[in-house]
């Protein structure tokens, strides 16, 4: 299967990054969101990123113009009827994703691949909202997308070998490293990362150490580039809580119980960097 044109749904941080790497790889992109303001914000992010690439002499101004020219902006879901693949990067909510995939199933060509950038939700359940579960797959990019090499590729129960091979080849075309993962809550990244972050929060909650001390231990002792609590603030504490709840519900195991302090911060609106306060003040 040849992927020549992709629709990216969601023009936020992840969606704009996914659109950018596709355009840079020579693939035509439709960048879609529900409002023109959201699409424009995402498009401006791409322009800023490309301008930095020009300043660093990684691409020329001519390259930038060619890349930008490959990106079409849209608020009309019907544009999905002209694409070979849709990559959904909308809010991390199973009802929203299932509803969206049911709509896309009626719009996108019968041959089109429907992919989701979910970081923790079941691909099989999302696929069940369509009449083409064999063409639904997880394509989980890391943040920031233009920089990070990993793409987790997650097969649903019905995903065909052809679709998997197509998406794996696409990831390589984007200069990413695809890793095959089975469809379990949190996949590999968040099943390992989020309990570590949650445990770091428990050490603060129980008075074992301050956030600064926990982060220093993990940076200097484990050679992590960023401490787990700083990372949690960057991810968003609401997102961390949502993924821990997904793991807890999905496995029914109390080792995934979200720390009460994490819940408290989220209820307080201390969501991390995006609100100016989490474990640190910004």
Is 152 annotated as catalytic?
yes
Spatial separation of the C-alpha atoms in residues 3 and 47, rounded to whole Å: 24
3-state secondary structure of 38: helix
Q: Which of 49, 117, 140, 168 is catalytic?
A: 140
Is 248 annotated as catalytic?
no
Q: Which of 117, 119, 120, 198 is catalytic?
A: 119
Q: Report CA dihedral (123, 30, 82, 171) to the nearest 10 degrees.
A: -50
Is 223 annotated as catalytic?
no
Tokens 């979200």 belong to: 258
Q: Which of 32, 152, 168, 198 is catalytic?
A: 152
* Nearest CA-CA partner of 178 in 143, 138, 146, 144: 138
Is 32 annotated as catalytic?
no
3-state secondary structure of 210: coil
Say if residues 237 and 278 touch (Cβ distance below 8 Å).
Answer: yes
Q: Write phi, then psi, for 188 (nearest 5 degrees).
A: -100, -50
Residue positions annotated with a catalytic role: 119, 140, 152, 190
């Amino acid at each position: 299967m040849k992927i020549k044109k992709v629709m990216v749904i969601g023009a936020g941080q992840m969606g704009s990054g996914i659109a950018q790497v596709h355009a840079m790889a020579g693939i035509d992109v439709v960048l879609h969101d529900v409002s023109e303001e959201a699409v424009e914000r995402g498009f401006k992010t791409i322009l800023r990123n490309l301008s930095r690439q020009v300043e660093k002499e990684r691409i020329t101004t001519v390259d930038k113009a060619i890349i930008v020219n490959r990106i079409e902006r849209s608020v009309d879901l019907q544009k999905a009827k002209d694409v070979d693949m849709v990559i959904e990067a909308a809010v991390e909510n199973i009802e929203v994703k299932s509803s969206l995939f049911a709509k896309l199933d009626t719009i996108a060509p019968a041959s089109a691949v429907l992919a989701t950038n979910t970081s923790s939700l079941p691909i099989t359940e999302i696929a069940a909202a369509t009449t083409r579960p064999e063409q639904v797959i997880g394509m989980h990019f890391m943040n920031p997308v233009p920089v990070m090499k990993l793409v987790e590729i997650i097969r649903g129960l019905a995903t065909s070998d052809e679709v998997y091979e197509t998406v794996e080849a696409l990831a390589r075309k984007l200069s990413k490293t695809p890793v095959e993962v089975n469809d379990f809550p949190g996949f590999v990244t968040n099943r390992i990362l989020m309990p570590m972050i949650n445990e770091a929060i428990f050490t603060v909650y129980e008075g074992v150490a301050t956030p600064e001390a926990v982060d220093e231990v993990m940076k200097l002792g484990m050679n992590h580039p960023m401490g787990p609590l700083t990372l949690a603030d960057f991810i968003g504490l609401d997102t961390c809580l949502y993924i821990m709840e997904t793991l807890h519900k999905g496995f029914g195991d109390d080792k995934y119980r979200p720390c009460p302090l994490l819940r408290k911060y989220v209820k307080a609106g201390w969501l991390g960097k995006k609100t100016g306060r989490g474990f640190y003040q910004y």
